[in-house]
Amino acid sequence: MTPKEAMEFAKNRKIEMVDLKFMDFIGTWQHFAVPVYELSEDSFEEGFGFDGSSIRGWQPIHASDMLVIPESATAVIDPFITRPTMSLICNIVDPITKENYSRDPRNIARKAEAYLKSTGVADTAFFGPEAEFFIFDDIRYATASNYGYYHIDSAEGVWNSGREEKPNLGYKPRHKEGYFPVPPTDSQHDLRDEMVRVMESIGLKVEAQHHEVATAGQAEIDLHFDTLVKVADALQWYKYIVKNVARKFGKTVTFMPKPLYGDNGSGMHCHQSLWKNGKPLFAGEEYGGLSKMALHYIGGILKHAPAICAFSNPTMNSYKRLVPGFEAPVNLAYSSRNRSASVRIPMYSPSPKAKRLEFRTPDPSCNGYIAFAAMLMAGLDGIQNKIHPGEPLDKDIYALSPEELSSVPTTPGSLEESLKALEADNDFLLKGDVFTPDVIEKWIEYKIDAEVNPVKMRPTPHEFFLYFDC
């Protein structure tokens, strides 16, 4: 959709407001709205001003003026705002230099796509994220110098099997038994269907929706794969829609990787493949029906995985899911079909077009623009340097002896370790000016100051349980 077509779109649908959405540095959508008469074709080049110093990780107050430049091709009708509103996803530009802002995550993703084309390796990178989430009925939390707590509740939670609900009708999934039971055990089918309906109303393509493994309303809706920037845009719409539909039903959604102790966390397995001139490049005669290029791409992912984790698993909570010895993809190995490897080669279809790899380590707390870009840059580094991923691991990793397991590298054990890995290994990200040094430096600085240190310094309720009487 061109700027002219976007203006016609607004006119034909009697749009009254225009909502301008953009991504902050950490990964949360931001927005502000203007009356439709403030939008013209020139707006798609001149943009709208805002205060960049109020956005996490961005400008200092003495250089705060920034511009959002709406992208006309992203125009849709916002499904939740009462007044007829056209939504536009925006890029961030410096008002003085007119350069794209280095810390705009969408700019990083756009540069990753441009770099891919410049290499001649491929012209298209497809990504297909499988973001999991929890749908809860109630969440309470607070923290201060003298207390800290959280309390989660769900009508589906197995802990409520004995609660007086007048009547309690049962059918609450037990821990790790939430995968695929029909209603009434799956009590949220209609809710997920409504999420899918709203996604489809704005043009998103959905492959499937289902209950996930954990008790208490863990869910998954799978987006159809698309090119890197488009699927990162779609992931933001996905989160926005899921949260707002849940709220309309009187429920709440979290994409925290590990909100519940003793049950599965939420991951975001990322399917990815490279194409050129409309032809898939990952199909071949090597292991798992892959090409040598695909194996080298995997080699890059596995080599740089500790650094990638700083973006793909970017929270302190992420590492409560990535714990060795449990059902989490912490082992940096690859395999066909084996879901205990961090990189899996799906074997559902023999079609070359379906040949892809699935990186299982990421979680949905990540900023999709940055995380997908980092994965692509790692894979390209693997191709350019012909990094072989080693031998595949087709055994059950969790059944290996300590001796066998000792040779299998693992993901970092904490966000702090991931940030140290990123600090030590980031040259592959700097190629093509995709990531810039200021992005990496600011990411590490922000995460240490705003997340790592505050969490490290606070006692938790379980520490009182363990140590108060010491």
Question: DSSP of 206-244, one letter per residue?
Answer: EEEEEE-SSTTTEEEEEEPPEEHHHHHHHHHHHHHHHHH
pLDDT given at position 52: 85
Q: Which pair of structure tokens corresponds to residue 76?
A: 């849709």
Query: Which residues carry out catalysis?
Result: 51, 130, 132, 212, 220, 269, 339, 358, 360
Q: Which pair of structure tokens corresponds to residue 262?
A: 């003793």
Mean pLDDT by 10 residues, the chain (470 residues): 95 97 94 96 94 84 84 97 97 92 95 98 97 97 95 96 93 93 95 98 96 95 97 98 98 97 95 97 94 97 98 97 82 82 87 93 97 98 96 79 82 97 98 96 97 96 94
pLDDT given at position 338: 67
272: nearest Cα among 237, 314, 238, 300: 300
pLDDT given at position 328: 81
Q: Which pair of structure tokens corresponds to residue 44?
A: 């798609």
Query: Long-range contacts made by residues 98-101, C-beta under 8 angstroms, separation at least 24?
Result: 101/52, 101/58, 101/66
111: nearest Cα among 321, 380, 457: 380
pTM, two decimals, is 0.95
Q: Which pair of structure tokens corresponds to residue 40?
A: 């013209």
Type of residue at 87 = S
pLDDT given at position 56: 86
Residues in CB range of 94: below 8 A, 6 or more apart: 66, 67, 101
pLDDT given at position 407: 82
In the chain, how long is the greatest CA-to-CA distance? 71
Helix axes 228-248, 368-384, angle to 10 degrees: 150
On whether the CB atoms of residues 108 and 439 are closer than 8 A, the answer is yes
Residues in the chain: 470
pLDDT given at position 406: 80
**CA end-to-end span of the chain, whole Å?**
66
Q: Which pair of structure tokens corresponds to residue 71?
A: 């992208």
Sign of CA dihedral 397, 402, 406, 409: positive
On whether the CB atoms of residues 428 and 92 are closer than 8 A, the answer is no
Phi (first) and psi of residue 44, to 5 degrees: -75, -5
